[in-house]
Structure 1
């Protein structure tokens, strides 16, 4: 059924809710998301939405996921970005959606159009979301088949420097073109949202407005998502978060309570028909929010999820660095994959832990949340940023200088690091700098940590009263000749302590990790939790990241004209270099990996 008809038929009472999912990057993550979505379907959402990667990068997985939800009896809203798409991709996506019974589209712009950069192969029909709305509504092939939603930005568009009046005019144009409903970008300022809704209505826009609520998961992810979305963060919210920012469980609990308060106030004062919950493919917080609101209908029970111990229970189990290390040593050797239905048993990173402390691309590749993406299908890269921060590199030495400037905090980002160097990375700064000066450009790393308190300002995570551990690893790009030398060094001097993965854009992968082997490189031991493992490097996750990393080189190259020195350099790097991830398993020796790589010479300072 068309979503707008569902909205109109929704019975009076509490507002409805919809759930948003994204297609995981790995096959196991995708399969496990299907079982998770089946459980969440028992909560009776009015509809679900499925995101679409920038430039159609997740086209097949997005369509497959949307087809699954639609065929399972869930009305599905397929996000569809229209800029930077190869000619014909929009038509293909609409035809496939139509053939699979999908009747709802969320029409989005996606990545900013490249303007006059004619060398980017895009579909010239689409520069903005309104173009997509008009195209669908004017098409004899598609017009009657789809209900269309559009996005709105109560805090202003992150990519726009226009004023609020211009933003409202843009929204009205999308609605006048034929949009049936509005989903908003995430926000946390309720007062601002209520005032914004009044302005939208005064503009003559009458279609339903559904606010997007994204529960806080971790402090770091909250900062990342609000920065990416340009979200306004009320001072009182930051004042609440700062004292608990190093306790992931408290942040997650706070996020649940905040979402409940926001939804209750929106229902009472905001004049909204329903809310859109951006799940990030995580289950526990969504269930807790709906239970607190009384909207879960008894379909799910807290016994099916891992919840934090009460303070009394936590106090009864004292974790010390000594017993934590013993527990970790015992539990980390346990292996054997489990299905998601085996939550709470067996493997460390089984389903019961996936929602605890999600850790981005280094999390468990089996998790439905693996490959976390942003809400509206953006890569985060822009030509303006490239020219301002990274200039016009024409030589390998120019690239080395860009990576060095980022390490030395002279620029805030690189295409592979969207934020300044973290305090954790500063702990191993001399070693990262030394590798980069060698021409091995570092894009990921962590220091070895042996039993730091979970409240540590730099490396701590998880609930209070625990201890965290890390094996040292580093990732970098290097030439094939150096890959050959590094492989020989691992064989001759690694002594089974060193594992690596190396891959190139042509699809070759070299490793000394056994088949189905997994490098657990971050774990924590907490009262009531035993071992929680958040960072895993294994073949499938490495290959997924490798493909993404080389696509970043291609996108960076696309900011420069064909045949330019910059384009030739960046495309050459993409085609010739390898990505290497190397880990040393002796987490008790903070210099073990660096001694292996550099010998016993004094590190650069």
Structure 2
């Protein structure tokens, strides 16, 4: 059913809500997301949405996930669709694939902006911005009647543009005049500012529903990264409230739930907003708590096709009633949802049991770049599914590298905090990495460009200001690892040293652009490099390095080199250098298993002779 029609017909006494998910990067994460969506669907969202990676990078997974939820499981689904950097024909292919699967709702987005706009040329000249996609769908005989179209809005201004607020409203008006049926906003944390923006939107003559994007804070570090990537302004009162609890992930998560509830109550109590859009980041607990605290369970007026899981985890439909005859009061709807949820949790397969708590909470406290590749939240991105690279705004800091020495200098400047970001990190060097700075500096001076690392930790309190994570009262542990780019002849010498001197303590992965992968880790090897022990809980393994997670990140890392190169004119020294690096260097990850010795990894790598 079209979302605009569902909104028009909605008649429960509380606002409606929708949930947003992204297609996980790994097969295991994808499989484990389905039962998670199933459990959240018992809260009866009006619809769910599935994000679309930049340039169609998650095309197959996005369409597969949206197809499963819409066609197979009967959940009305909004498929995000970006248009910039899409090859000719890809937009039509995606729309046809959505139509075949019964999807009737599209969120039309521009997607990641062109890299280095001074030199950029559109891949498909039909699509250079979101309004182009809206107009194309609405004017197409094949697609116009099939799809309800939503568009994005930015209450605090678009993070990639310095346009004034009125300019942003003009763009939004063009999207709506072009045929958009509803608006979903970028996340925000200042409710008063948002409501003033809503008034300006209405004054502009825009009357379609506005659905505000709400994202509960999950951890302090991820919150900081997100507001930087999205350009979100945070009221000082929120930062002041987070400051004393920033090292207790449990308290931060609880605060995030309470803050989301307060914001939602504030913006919906005015009568200006009829529903909200909750960004889940593929996590379950916070979203469920928000809905429960609002006492909104039973958000959809339609109770047919309720999802119930049978014992092996396959999905069947329970035809509760025809929608024309069904009348359910909010209390009955909430109780029905709770009963179905209890039944489903009993029958659903529990992918987390015995490894990291239970299926609903086993990845509540992700830590580090990798996380667990089996988690549905592995590889979480920003709200619209972008890479974040375009929002770093760092070219003025990175300069114009023309030689490998220039690149070495840039990586060193980042380590020394002389620049606040690098192409591989939107944030300054963390306090944790500062504890191993001399080692990272020595490696980088060799021309081993470090992009990710972790010191050893042996039973540090979970509230430690530098290394702590998770709830208070626990202890955290880490194995040291480091990741860097080197040329193949250097990799060969590293492999020789590991074979001769590693004695089983050192494992590595190495991959290149051409898809080769070299390693001494068994094919089914899974190496937990970060874990925690907390009162009343199983051991939580939050950062796991194994083949699939490494290869997933490796592909992203080499994409960053390409994106960086595209910021410079084609054929320029900078572009040629970065392209050559992408084609010739290997990404190498090395783990030392002796977490009892703080310098074990660094002694192994830095003692003895290895090539520069």
Go from structure 1 to structure 2 and tell me whether the alpha carbon gap of 1:440 and 1:121 turns closer, same or farther (over 3 Å shift): farther
Aligned residue runs from structure 1 range 339-488, under 5 A? 341-342=349-350, 345-348=353-356, 351-359=359-367, 361-382=369-390, 385=393, 387-488=395-496
Distance 2:459 2:128 in 1: 52
**Secondary structure of the equivalent of 2:389?**
coil
1:526 and 2:534 aligned: yes
Kept in 1: contact 2:216–2:257 (CA 8 A): yes
Distance 1:32 1:233 in 2: 33
| 1:208 corresponds to | 209
| 2:82 corresponds to | 81
Mean CA deviation greater in 105-114 or 427-436: 105-114
| 2:135 corresponds to | 134
- Alpha-carbon offset, residue 377 of structure 1: 3.0
| 1:147 corresponds to | 148
**Secondary structure of the equivalent of 1:19?**
strand
Cα deviation digits, residues 445-483 of structure 1 (max 9, x gap): 011111111111111111111111111100001111111
| 2:330 corresponds to | none
Kept in 2: contact 1:84–1:120 (CA 8 A): no
Distance 1:127 1:445 in 2: 38
Distance 1:519 1:5 in 2: 49
Q: Which of 554, 569, 573 matches 1:565?
A: 573
| 2:282 corresponds to | 281
Aligned residue runs from structure 1 range 529-544, under 5 A? 529-544=537-552
Go from structure 1 to structure 2 and tell me whether the alpha carbon gap of 1:472 and 1:304 turns closer, same or farther (over 3 Å shift): farther
Kept in 2: contact 1:120–1:558 (CA 8 A): no
Aligned residue runs from structure 1 range 483-562, under 5 A? 483-562=491-570
Kept in 2: contact 1:349–1:364 (CA 8 A): no
With the length of structure 2 as denominator, give the TM-score of the two structures: 0.89
5+ residue gaps, structure 2 = 298-333
Distance 1:495 1:572 in 2: 35
- Alpha-carbon offset, residue 78 of structure 1: 0.8
Go from structure 1 to structure 2 and tell me whether the alpha carbon gap of 1:446 and 1:486 turns closer, same or farther (over 3 Å shift): same
| 2:250 corresponds to | 249
Kept in 2: contact 1:361–1:541 (CA 8 A): no
Distance 1:386 1:580 in 2: 25
Distance 2:56 2:540 in 1: 35
With the length of structure 1 as denominator, give the TM-score of the two structures: 0.90
| 1:272 corresponds to | 273
| 2:322 corresponds to | none
Distance 2:608 2:494 in 1: 17
| 2:5 corresponds to | 5
- Alpha-carbon offset, residue 242 of structure 1: 0.6
**Secondary structure of the equivalent of 2:409?**
helix
Go from structure 1 to structure 2 and tell me whether the alpha carbon gap of 1:360 and 1:595 turns closer, same or farther (over 3 Å shift): closer
Distance 1:340 1:218 in 2: 28
Cα deviation digits, residues 238-263 of structure 1 (max 9, x gap): 11111111000001111111112222
**Secondary structure of the equivalent of 1:356?**
coil
- Alpha-carbon offset, residue 497 of structure 1: 0.7
Kept in 1: contact 2:119–2:568 (CA 8 A): no
Distance 1:558 1:212 in 2: 31
**Secondary structure of the equivalent of 1:275?**
strand
Go from structure 1 to structure 2 and tell me whether the alpha carbon gap of 1:261 and 1:384 turns closer, same or farther (over 3 Å shift): closer
| 1:41 corresponds to | 41
1:171 and 2:172 aligned: yes
Kept in 2: contact 1:215–1:256 (CA 8 A): yes
| 1:194 corresponds to | 195
**Secondary structure of the equivalent of 1:548?**
helix
Kept in 1: contact 2:84–2:122 (CA 8 A): no
1:588 and 2:596 aligned: yes
- Alpha-carbon offset, residue 115 of structure 1: 7.2
**Secondary structure of the equivalent of 2:269?**
helix
**Secondary structure of the equivalent of 2:508?**
strand
Distance 1:119 1:364 in 2: 36
Distance 2:353 2:70 in 1: 32
Distance 1:301 1:434 in 2: 59
Go from structure 1 to structure 2 and tell me whether the alpha carbon gap of 1:363 and 1:302 turns closer, same or farther (over 3 Å shift): farther
Cα deviation digits, residues 537-565 of structure 1 (max 9, x gap): 11110010011111111111222233322
Cα deviation digits, residues 56-114 of structure 1 (max 9, x gap): 11111111111111111111111111112222222221122122211111111111235
- Alpha-carbon offset, residue 388 of structure 1: 1.1
Go from structure 1 to structure 2 and tell me whether the alpha carbon gap of 1:438 and 1:122 turns closer, same or farther (over 3 Å shift): same
**Secondary structure of the equivalent of 1:354?**
coil
| 2:66 corresponds to | 66
Distance 1:490 1:303 in 2: 50
Kept in 2: contact 1:343–1:352 (CA 8 A): no
Distance 1:46 1:514 in 2: 45
| 1:312 corresponds to | none
Kept in 2: contact 1:150–1:183 (CA 8 A): yes
- Alpha-carbon offset, residue 270 of structure 1: 4.7
Kept in 2: contact 1:80–1:106 (CA 8 A): yes
Kept in 1: contact 2:283–2:364 (CA 8 A): no
Kept in 2: contact 1:451–1:467 (CA 8 A): yes
Cα deviation digits, residues 261-314 of structure 1 (max 9, x gap): 222222211521111110000011111111112223243489979xxxxxxxxx
- Aligned alpha-carbon RMSD (Å): 2.1
| 1:156 corresponds to | 157
Distance 1:8 1:410 in 2: 54
Count the aligned residue pairs: 568
Kept in 2: contact 1:361–1:372 (CA 8 A): no
Distance 1:579 1:115 in 2: 25
Mean CA deviation greater in 535-544 or 339-348: 339-348
Cα deviation digits, residues 464-508 of structure 1 (max 9, x gap): 111111111000011111111111111111111111111111111
Go from structure 1 to structure 2 and tell me whether the alpha carbon gap of 1:499 and 1:114 turns closer, same or farther (over 3 Å shift): closer
Kept in 1: contact 2:285–2:360 (CA 8 A): no
Go from structure 1 to structure 2 and tell me whether the alpha carbon gap of 1:140 and 1:119 turns closer, same or farther (over 3 Å shift): same
Mean CA deviation greater in 240-249 or 224-233: 224-233
**Secondary structure of the equivalent of 2:408?**
helix
Distance 1:263 1:385 in 2: 31
Distance 2:164 2:276 in 1: 26
